[in-house]
Amino acid sequence: MRSLVGIFFLSISSLALPSVGFADCTIDSNGPADAPEIRLSQLGLQIGAPSKAVFSSPTQTPTDWSLYNSERELVASGSTFVFGESVASGGHVHQIDLPNNLPAGENFTIESCDAQSRPFSISERPYSKLAEDSLSYFFQNRSGIDISERYVPDRQFARAAGHPSERLTCFAGEDMRGTTWPGCDHVLDVTGGWYDAGDFGKYAVNGGISTWMLLNAYERLEALQMTEAWSDNRVPMPENDNGLSEILDEARWQVEFLLSLQIPQGVYMSVPIGAQAESEGGPLDLTETDVSGMAHHKVHAAKWPGLPLLPSDADQTRYLYPPSTAATLNVSAVAAQCARIWREIDPVFANRCLVAAVSKYNAAQRNPDIFARRNFDGGGPYNDLDLSDEFGWAATELYATTGQTDYITSLTKTPGAYWLARNGDSSLGDISWNSVDQLPVATMLTASQYVSDNDRARAATILVEIADRYLDDAAQDGYSLPYPPTGYGWGSNGAVASRAVALGYAYDVTGDRKYREALISIMDYLTGRNPLDQSYVAGHGQRAVRKVHHRFWAEGANPDWPPAAPGALSGGPNAGYAPDEHQKAVLGDCAPMTCWADDYTAFALNEVAINWNAALFWLASYLDTTPPAQPNSTTTE
């Protein structure tokens, strides 16, 4: 990897700009009634980094814009770029390209067409607090520990420990499809971990990708010798003053839980083998199988808990749910990553992780097609029938940790062969809990001890090609968001934020500022540069989300309960799925970017989840620690 490009600040303290008038034009007053017509990030802008503002207007020709400081002095001016009709937003869009040589200050405003933006700031580190809050999100969703007032941004977020002692056995009985599960004879202590989303479930699959995202952010900083940016005591938590980054402290809380899901040796269980058709709707065929070393898929109660509800008041009986190959590979991959990162920090813990990583990988090879299903009430299924990417991910993490090339070469004898084929032509899918295609490629760049120069070069090429696909999407979008204009489904904000990984590494290895500018576009969109004038990040922005679908951040259900904690990311616009009549009524007839409401009942729009927040942390931390490119750095017009 190349070193990061340097930061550049241009002083413009003595600008002498002419007064600019507005061409005749009108602005569409879409979105909330009190929203300013000109939209931009509600976090503010970063010195040295170009950004955009956007508005909708039927005017077909460019119109003038002006930027004023708090003293009403003209700082910059220009003409809009007429993008035209925007499929995602449903408007005719004008873009304002703001220069990267603006001075620091408060209460800047942009004016065009007799309309004005919100006041905004320009500073060196507008993403710092958001990065910290998005990591604190995980502490505040810990299971098994008191969330003490001293570690939260406000006393309303403090609470007693939920599920402080979880020694559980397996679910036994009939599921929603009529399958009868015999249960198991073992009991596991699965105390700890993170609550997955708006409920109290704990899952190996979503937990795996979320933990990897935090650890990869740290491992990237370590590879670039920048870990001082995330040294001890930056974010309040009980592990402060232990000399370690809070990223590692928080990730370890979940790693310990993932390791606890391992099934003891010599255990046989009745499990479904192979791709049995869910469309048939009947019971599954179960086969008694040696599941030694596999990981249980999830932990939750047999019924969904109501809300509002504190986890300390959740008294339903909870269970281990059947093992799956996907869960086993997720734990193997993260455990291998753990072994690499903690090798010098805590050799005993690192060895424990490595032993678990190897045993689980072997167990997955022995049982490659035990799939999770939509069988159980009370928790999400996280069902995935294509595990080729998970095999590729776990094998690559083990190779990067041990240097044993057999892990890669043996993929040709597993479903991982299909991942190798996709990897070969750079057609890897986006990052999500059921698509981990890109994770092993990113690992090739950060875990350099055993990875060859050729492997790293190939990984860099792949990620740059993926990032270029994302830039193509940005060129088709009126808000310059690197996301398909018609791609808004459940968790769209998490999907958008996850694209930061390829874009960030593309900037690292090329120094081309277009990739970092695409990251800024993602952040700007999430924090207000959108047709709803909405910051989807709680506590950040003048119109920040509050009433998320969450059991104890439940202001929407009861105003006496707290809103979403600062740094929590809403799932975002969802034009693809409305699971009940209420949410269909909330949505109505909407353009994809506008299919959203700050409504706690609309869980398909406004839930929070660890994988979405992990991607937000990766993005915010990247922008906070990685300076803007200098003006003479590479760019592509």
**199 in catalytic set:** yes
Residue from 196, 239, 607, 624 carrying the catalytic annotation = 607
List the structure tokens of 414. 């597993």
List the structure tokens of 267. 């255990």
Residue from 249, 549, 550, 624 carrying the catalytic annotation = 549
Burial 449-476 (b: 16+ CB within 10 A, else e): eebeeebbebbbebbbebbbbbbebbeb
Residue from 196, 199, 397, 508 carrying the catalytic annotation = 199
- Nearest-angstrom CA–CA distance, 354 and 62: 60
- Nearest-angstrom CA–CA distance, 136 and 544: 17
- Nearest-angstrom CA–CA distance, 427 and 448: 24
Nearest to 604 by CA among 311, 310, 198, 203: 198
DSSP 330: H
Sign of CA dihedral 14, 18, 21, 22: negative
Residue from 132, 384, 430, 598 carrying the catalytic annotation = 598
Nearest to 198 by CA among 618, 622, 613: 613
Q: In 3-state terms, what secondary structure has residue 527?
A: strand
**607 in catalytic set:** yes
619: left (phi over 0), alpha (psi -120 to 50) or beta: alpha
- Nearest-angstrom CA–CA distance, 56 and 82: 10
- Nearest-angstrom CA–CA distance, 327 and 286: 18
The DSSP annotation for 552-594 comes to: SS-TTT-TTS--PPTTPBP----SS---SHHHHHHH-S--GGG
Q: Which residues are marked as active site?
A: 199, 549, 598, 607
